[in-house]
Amino acid sequence: MRSAAVVGTGLIGTSIALALRGRGVTPHLLDADPQAARLAADLGAGVVGAPRTPVDLAVIAVPPQHVASVLKEHQLSGLAHDFTDVASVKARPRREAAALGCDLTRYVGGHPMGGREVSGPLAAQGDLFQGRPWVLTPGADVRERTVDRARALAELCGARPVLMEPDRHDRAVALVSHAPHLVSSLLAARLLDGEEAQLRLAGQGLRDVTRVAAGDVDLWTDILGSNAAAVADVLAEFALELGSVVDALRELGESAPERHPAGRARLAAALTRGVRGRARLPARTPAGPGLRLSGVAAGN
Tell whether the model's pLDDT for residue 202 goes beyond 70.
yes
Q: What per-residue confidence (pLDDT) applies to 118?
A: 83
Higher pLDDT, 215 or 7: 7
Q: Which CATH class is domain 4-165+290-297?
A: alpha beta
Q: What per-residue confidence (pLDDT) applies to 262?
A: 87
pLDDT confidence band for 290 (50 / 70 / 90): very low
- The three-state secondary structure class of 184 is helix
Judge whether 4-165+290-297 and 170-279 match in fold.
no
Q: What is the pLDDT of residues 87-137, one digit of tens each?
A: 999 999 999 999 999 999 999 999 999 888 888 999 999 999 999 999 999
Q: What per-residue confidence (pLDDT) applies to 285?
A: 60
Least confident residue range of 96-105, 184-193, 250-259:
250-259
Tell whether the model's pLDDT for residue 234 goes beyond 60.
yes
Sign of CA dihedral 59, 62, 68, 72: negative
φ/ψ (deg, to 5) at 26:
-100, 105
* Averaged confidence pLDDT in the chain: 92
Measured CA to CA, the distance from residue 300 to residue 298 in angstroms comes to 7
For the chain, helix, strand, coil in percent to 5 are: 55, 15, 30
Sign of CA dihedral 287, 4, 14, 134: negative
By C-alpha distance, which of 171, 158, 148, 103 is closest to 126? 158
Superfamily of domain 170-279: 6-phosphogluconate dehydrogenase C-terminal like domain (1.10.3660.10)
* Domain extents in the chain: 4-165+290-297, 170-279
What is the pLDDT averaged over residues 43-51? Answer: 97
Q: What per-residue confidence (pLDDT) applies to 98?
A: 97
Q: What per-residue confidence (pLDDT) applies to 260?
A: 80
By C-alpha distance, which of 102, 154, 150 is closest to 133? 154
